[in-house]
Each structure stands twice: as C-alpha cells, then as structure tokens.
Chains A and B, each alone.
Chain A
Amino acid sequence: MIQIKGLIKDYGDFRALKDISVDIKKGEVIGLLGPNGAGKTTLMRIITGYISASLGSVKVGGKDILDDPKDVKKLIGYLPENCPLYPDMTVRDFLLSMAETKGIKGPKLKERLEYVLNAVKIKDREKSFISTLSKGYRQRVGLAQSLIHDPQILILDEPTVGLDPNQIIEIRDLIMGLKGDRTIILSSHILPEVSQMCERIIVIADGSIVAQGSESELITQVSANHKVHILVQEDFHKAMDLIKTIDGVQEVHIDRNNLIEAEIQKDKDLRPEIAQTLIKSNFKLLELRGGEMTLEEIFIQLTQAN
C-alpha cells in the first residue's frame, strides 16, 4: 500500500530523516514510536504530501505523491498533530465542507456525514460551534474529518495527546473500531497505546528506524538476556552467590527489597534449575518469576543507543 524508499529530509543543515525505507501492506496497523523530535511528524507529513522529501520516494497505492498528488491525497485520511480545526464553524458545516474539499458530492455527502457523526459519536454535538467543544470532542471531530471520504489509509499524528485517561481509552477504541480493512499509521510516544493498537511497531530515533516488529519481536531483538526474579525468606546474599554458580546465569543483582534479579541467556529457561538448586540447599523460596523487558525498557535502550 505504501512504499517508502531512501527517504531523506533536511531542514537547512539539520537532517530530520536519515534514509528511511519501509513497506506497509494493505490492512496493517503501524505504530510509529519515538521520542519527541525523532522525525515521526516529518515522516507523516511527507507521506500525506504536506511537505516533500529532500531525497527518496513515497508511493501510495502504486502512485508517487509528487506525480499524482490529488489521487494520492484522495486515498489518505489525515489527522495532523494538535488537531487543527476551524473554530468558527459548526461541527456539521465543517465536516460537510471538508467532505466537499475531498471530492464527495451529491447524496453521498449527507450519507458520509451521518456515518462519521455516528462513527465517532458526535451526533449530539453536530450543531455546536467547534470553539465550544472540549479537547476530547475536538479530537473526535478531527478523526471524523479524516474519515469523511472513506479513505483506504488513515494517518493519525498523536491522536491521543493531551487527553485524559478516559478519553484516551475512548479514542483508542474508536480507532480500533474504524480499522476494517484500512491501513492505519499512528504515531505516539506513549508505549502501551502503541503496543495495544498496532501489529507492527516502527521505532524511530534521531531520524532513523532503529527497530521494527511486533512487541515480542522487539523484545527479542533488543534484549540479549532475559531475567528471572527470585525472593527467598532469608540469607539473601548466600542465595545470590548460589544462583551465580548455576550454568547459564550471566549476572545476578539484588535490590533494596532483597529481590534477586538473575540475567539469563536468551535461549535458556533456567527457572526449574534455579528452583531446584535453592530448595535442595534449604532456602525458603517465596517467589520465582520470569521477567521480560518492558516496552519502556526497550524504548529507552533503542532510542538512547542512537
């Protein structure tokens, strides 16, 4: 659906995107993850044709955004960062006018309007002026305008930023409900959001793609070791020394709460051996659990390494 090849974007001397290449298939839900300033918005703006790349190409539905801008733009529904809207218009007028701008006419206009008003649940506020709406409602209006022409591709730049936890859940459910067979690209620096919604996560840092894959793939890509947490009732340091002697254990730490953390080679599961060894030596084992790296840890590791 979207082929990005060798994309480079310079703002003066600053290189915002450094050779980005991605292939996005029809129906995929992609999460762009990265710290602020990593290049997520720039990448989205290039795909939508708002700005152009310094080098490289973007093909959407087989067409180049620079050669057929109008055709490509018809395929895309876009919610820009900060959700810009016309505050002086009513929700209804705004959506009708956006629909016309996107080339919808005749009886389809009203039909699409009713559909999006219900889809994002703003039917009850259709006559309100946008300036009187809360942030959550504005975000829905923004989503509604991106959907109005029934686009095959939805590009959402930080769709949940600035919302309270309840609104975040609502918007997230809305987006998931809209999926159908659409291709969705959304950006965020909120990790659980991305891992819940997206099949593929693309981590961008400093203008480059540093990793991509599903959450579990990212975890295996990043962590060389996995962790086991052990809690015994007493003799913590003796237990630690014992665990160190087990073959395959790389490193052992103990924290302030006397929880022992053993780092173990990625391909081995040493939990049974650790348990046996401790019990044979008469330690009172209270707790033993495997701990995987969280997405947070992966994020920090990936984005700081670069």
Chain B
Amino acid sequence: MRNIFILFKREFKAYFFSPVAYIISFLFLALSGYFFAGFVNRFASAEVGYAFGSFPILILFFAPFLTIRLISEEKRSGTLELMLTSPISPLELVIGKYLAAFTVFLTVMILPTLVYILVMGSFAQPGSPGLDYGVVFTVYMGLILFGASLLSIGIFTSSLTESQLIAGIVGFVVSLILYLIDGQAATVRSPFWADLMKELSLQTHYIDFAGGMIKASNVIFYLLLTSLFLLFANKSVESHVWK
C-alpha cells in the first residue's frame, strides 16, 4: 500500500510539472461548456442526462491524453529500469500510476463540471420541480465509471510500447471500438453475437446512469473492464522481465 501511495504521489505531481493537465482541463471544459450551453439554450431543460449527453464522447477523446505517457515514457527514457530494479512490484507501479491518472481525471475534468450543475440549479423557475439531484448523482457515477475504464485501457496500451503516439492511437481506437460496438449489433444475424456486442459496449452500460438508474450489472461491467485492463497492464510490465 505504501509503495502504491509513493508512486501515486510522484505521478500525480508529474501531471502538474508539465502543462498537460492544465491544457486537458482547459480544452475539455471549453468543449463541454460549449455543448452544455448549446443544450440549455435550445431546450431550457434541467435534465442532466441530456445536458451532459456529449460528455462521454468528450471523455473518450480526452482520456487517452491522460494515460499515453504513463508507462511508454518510462520505457523510452529508461527510467522503467530504475523503477523495476527498486523494491516495488509491477502491480504496485501500475496501480499507483493508474490512481494518479484517475485522480487527475476527477480533479481536472469531472470536478469543474459541477459548475454546470450550479448554473442549472440556480436558473430553475420558482414552482418547477427543479434539478433532480438523484439523477445528477447517477450521471456523475456513470461518467466516473466510464472514465475509469477508459483510463485503464489507456494505461494498458501505454505499457505496450515506447512510443506515446502508438500508445495514444491504439488506446483511442480500442476505446472507440468498445464504445461503438453496439451500433453494429443490428447487422449481425446471430442473436448470441448481437447480444454480446451490446453487452460489451461502453455506451450501452452508460445509458441507464444518464436516465437516473443505477443497475448493478452496469457498475460491475465497468469495474470488471477496469480491473481486466489493469491486470493486462500489469502482465505487460511483468513480461518485460522475461524478454
């Protein structure tokens, strides 16, 4: 645990040594603010699920930038050798780094969007039902779980290569496929494969959260996916020893 915390601390600080975290935060808020304002202007509605409708796809675009550097850069510069010859395990390394990315995701992307909630809450008409904070809660839960799984895909692809570019592209494409895979389900004849494609989709499992529902199956899906890719990342770092 202590080792994980040490690695977490260093990695978290590293995000703010470089401009990466600030740029990601700025651009994500600019874009999400643009879509949010567009929705509110057109529909004058307080349905958070719809107002935040563009957020998953934005997170999908931005999450890889938080993770591409994590392991690929250590491989490229040789510092992975310093890490792996220190008394820490590859799993501690992966989890420490992952938690740092996740915390940065929460602080620079998720936390600032609470401003939108404040805006919506303060503009509610007197007598109207106003903002449904239950839905606000489920939407955030969904976004966070969704982001968590994308970050785990990102750290896994970052562990595969020395090249940040390759890590980023592969991570993004894998995420995009998992996001859109349900769209092709209708074209598949076999009901088994069609169901599987729907069940594997990052998008399918988010919809219930946006609608204000927490289903155990959706929560489990995201947690399983996250753990799976973290284990893959661990195996990938470990495998270095056997090369």
Interface residues of A in 65-96 (CB under 8 A from B): 69-71, 73-74, 76, 78, 80-82, 84-89, 93
Partner of A102, one of B14, B78, B87, B241: B87
Q: Which of B10, B18, B84 contacts A50 (CB 8 A)?
A: B84
**Chain B residue at minimum C-beta to C-beta distance from A46:** B241
Judge whether A82 and B78 touch: CB under 8 Å.
yes
Does B86 lie within 8 Å of A98, measured CB to CB?
yes
A183 at interface, CB cutoff 8 A:
no
Q: Return the chain A residue nearest B76 by Cβ.
A: A84
B91: min CB distance to chain A, Å: 12
A 141-164 binary contact with B (CB < 8 Å = 1; else 0) = 000010000000000000000000
- For B81, the closest partner residue in chain A by CB is A80
B77 within 8 Å of A (CB atoms): yes
A22 vs chain B, min Cβ distance (A): 19
Known: A51-B243, A52-B241, A88-B14. A100 touches B82 (CB 8 A): no
Contact A101 B3 (CB under 8 A): yes
Complex: A80 Cα to B86 Cα, angstroms: 12
A78 to B85, CA, bound (A): 7
Question: A76 — which chain B residues lie within 8 A by C-beta?
Answer: 85
Number of interface residues of A (CB under 8 A): 32
Query: Please, which residues of chain A bring their CB within 8 A of the CB of B2?
Result: 105
* B interface: dominant SS: helix
The reply on B227 being an interface residue by CB < 8 A is no
Q: Are the CB atoms of B81 and A74 closer together than 8 Å? A: no
Contact with B along A95-119 (1 / 0, CB 8 A): 0011011110100000000000000
Contact A80 B87 (CB under 8 A): no
Residue interface bits B5-45, CB-to-A below 8 A is 1, else 0: 01101100110011000000000000000000000000000
Interface-central residue, B2, B86, B242, by most chain A CB under 10 Å: B86
| Interfacial residues, chain B to chain A (CB-CB below 8 A) | 2-3, 6-7, 9-10, 13-14, 17-18, 77-79, 81-89, 240-243
3 smallest CB-CB distances across A and B, nearest first, come from A84-B78, A70-B87, A73-B87
Q: A74-B87, A86-B14, A145-B82 are in contact. List 15 more A-B contacts (CB 8 A).
A: A51-B242, A52-B241, A70-B89, A73-B85, A78-B85, A80-B82, A82-B78, A84-B79, A85-B79, A86-B77, A87-B77, A101-B3, A101-B6, A101-B87, A101-B88
